[in-house]
Amino acid sequence: MDRFKRQILADEKRIYRTDKRRQQKLETRIRILDAALDHFSRRGFEAAAVRDIAADAGVTHAVIRLHFGTKDQLWREAVSQLFARFEQEMADPPEEPTSATPSLAQFIRRYVLYSARHPEHARIMMHESMEPSERLSWMVDTYVIPAHRRVMPALERAVQGRRLPAMSLVSLIYIISSSGQSLFMLGAEAKLIYGIDVAAPETIDQHVAAVLALLRISYGSTVGADRQSEGAIGIA
């Protein structure tokens, strides 16, 4: 269980500290969401089995129905948790205790480090983004478009200010996000081809450096320097 989930758990425990049932229900809920994220990201929505998720969470599959209703609703809850954590960690990254409005380089670094820490994010989006579906439309409308909207102006300024090469902004955002995610998302493949563990700190540092070298940006200009609210910026 990571920092984010522990925080929620602690909050809830404080609120309902007299009610043991609510505590246990919440812990079960978190275990289910955790297992769901793991299965959905590795296998995709259709191939993931509710019974397998339940087994990993230490409950029977009927409990999932009780907590979340349908498999579809479970998926949406899991994706919501995922994006909530994404936005939180991009605004206030674990690796930067005191976080100010990030420079373009810092922002890219945060994004790559997040992708390395949580490869399930890219995986779950990949599985859904390859063919149209209700789930994809919902995820895009609810989370992806807002995230792109937050980061697009900064990228546009960087291109116009010649801090990034001139190119289509759509291509740019797809290149940046896929470059940052790919190595970690495809960890199983990279392990087989190169024998590397993409979760190793050296590998992660190398990849951060590689993406920054490719974009040829350093820790100079700030992203969203003109608006404080853009501190909690995100690409997805």
Task: Give the residues lining the site for its own copies (CB under 8 A).
Answer: 41-47, 123, 125-127, 129-132, 136-137, 140-141, 144-145, 148, 165-168, 170-172, 174-175, 177-179, 181-183, 185-186, 188-194, 196, 203, 206-207, 209-211, 213-216
Closest CB to DNA among residues 64, 147: 64
Smallest distance from the beta carbon of 182 to its own copies, in angstroms?
A: 4
Written as six digits, the tokens of 23 are 């505590």
Q: Note whether 236 and 143 are within 8 A (CB).
A: yes
Whichever of 30 and 211 has its CB closer to its own copies, that residue is 211
Which one, 64 or 164, has the nearer CB to its own copies? 164
Query: What one-character-per-residue DSSP string does 11-38 give?
Result: HHHHHTTT-HHHHHHHHHHHHHHHHHHH
Among 22, 135, 157, 163, binds DNA (CB under 7 A): 22
Whether the CB-CB separation of 221 and 104 falls below 8 Å is answered with yes
Q: How far is the CB of 65 from DNA (least distance, A)?
A: 5
90 touches 111 (CB < 8 A): yes
Nearest approach in angstroms of CB 132 to its own copies is 5
Phi then psi for residue 103, to 5 deg, are -70, 170
28 binds, among its own copies, DNA, none (CB under 5 to 8 A by kind): DNA
141 is a contact residue toward DNA (CB under 7 A): no
- Any idea what the Cα angle at residue 89 is, between residues 214 and 152, rounded to 5°? 50
Whose tokens are 């998926």? That residue is: 75
Query: Does residue 48 belong to the site contacting DNA (CB under 7 A)?
Result: yes
Burial environment of residue 233 by CB neighbours within 10 A (0 to 12, 13 to 18, 19 or more): buried
Q: Does 19 bind DNA (CB under 7 A)?
A: yes
State whether the Cα torsion 61-66-69-75 is positive or negative: negative
Cα–Cα distance between 141 and 138 in angstroms, integer? 5
- Min CB(216)–its own copies separation in Å: 7
Check residue 67 for interaction with DNA (CB under 7 A): yes
Question: Which residue, 78 or 215, has its beta carbon nearer to its own copies?
Answer: 215
C-beta closer to its own copies: residue 101 or 183: 183
Question: Which positions lie near DNA, rule CB under 7 A?
Answer: 18-22, 24-25, 28, 48-52, 59-63, 65-67, 70-72
